[in-house]
Amino acid sequence: MSQVAVPPVVALLGPTASGKSSLALGLAELLAGRGTPVEIVNADSMLVYRGMDIGTAKPGPDELARVPHHLVDVLDVTQNSSIALVQTMARQAIADCRARRVLPLVVGGSALYTRAVLDELEIPPTDPVVRARLEEELAEQGSPALHRRLAERDPRAADAILPGNGRRIVRALEVVELTGSFSATMPDGRFHIPGTVEIGLSLSREDLDRRIAERVDRMWHDGLVEEVRSLAGHGLRQGRTASRALGYRQVLQYLDGLIDEDRARTDTVVRTRRFARKQLMWYRRDPRIRWFGALAPQLAGQVAESLRLT
């Protein structure tokens, strides 16, 4: 096989519960069997946390042993994950793979994080004073009020952020105050590494909703409540990023007596579905993505053939 034919980076994108992790393992092993060594680079902001296993659907020890993974279990739950941090670590991992003639297979989370890793994207400045003031306003007024303010000042940015995502709304408003526009700092469709290939997984809303409900059922069955209770004893509530992860936030509310367990479970399904639809909507806007049906048979083989690595 000619190394010239190998893309410099391949990325798997798609909504939550579309099967990206499973496809990544199958594709990596298939390509390795054809002479192209592959390592997986995580671009999900929550898989970086040690101990957050069940609620993030993190690959298990056996799966992690099958193919080398980067950016998995690298932070404690008390540490903050950010776009800038994931961008830096992921790009370092990609550069390391390429230096060793290994194909980096990036597996994405949210569109914003994967765009930060894959595209030309300069992380905007930050100001602790402005951030602190906006966080106080978030606590006093709630995220919907701040989201309405963002919609007035930068409609494109507001369209990209869910009204309930207070952390992202605060960051966007901070950038608007410092630079005049958050959307101006968003990706412009140019790859950081030319020649990158993006593979997208799509499925119907009905299938996506069903898979999300099944995933949440498995999480509860596998012990998500116990996992969150254990992590709470190791500072999860103090982790500004980790404590807001889907599922973890809802279980913390249940453990704190704010909602009952059925409500925590239902809210996790509803909010995950909303997040997944937003993901798919944003990815659909990117004309560079090669789309495949997430439930198609022999999917790894189809993707491998599309990469022309044989």
Pull the structure tokens for residue 303: 């993707």
pLDDT at 64 over 80: yes
Binding site members for substrate:
16-21
Query: How far does Cα 51 stand from its chain's mean position?
Result: 17
Binding site members for ATP:
14-21
Alpha carbon distance 44, 149 (integer Å) = 28
21 touches 88 (CB < 8 A): no
pLDDT at 179 over 90: no
Q: Which parts of the chain are beta strand (E)?
A: 10-13, 38-43, 69-70, 103-108, 197-202, 290-293
pLDDT at 146 over 90: yes
CATH topology for 128-185 is Histone, subunit A (1.10.20)
pTM for the full model? 0.83
Binding site members:
14-21
Residue 192's pLDDT band (boundaries 50, 70, 90)?
very high
pLDDT at 263 over 70: yes
CATH topology for 3-122+189-204+282-307 is Rossmann fold (3.40.50)
Which residues have a Cβ under 8 Å from the Cβ of 233 and sit 6 or more positions away?
Answer: none
Q: Which of 122, 115, 281, 124 is nearest to 189 (CA)?
A: 115
Burial class (CB in 10 A: 0-12, 13-18, 19+), 262: exposed
Alpha carbon distance 173, 193 (integer Å) = 29
Residue 2's pLDDT band (boundaries 50, 70, 90)?
very low
Which residues have a Cβ under 8 Å from the Cβ of 211 and sit 6 or more positions away?
Answer: 17, 18, 203
| Multiple choice CATH, 207-277, 1.20.1050.10, 3.30.1330.10, 1.10.287.890, 3.30.230.70 | 1.10.287.890
Look-up of token digits 């099958």:
66
Sorted by where each begins, the domain ranges of the chain are: 3-122+189-204+282-307, 128-185, 207-277
15-19, 203-207, 280-284: range with lowest mean pLDDT:
280-284
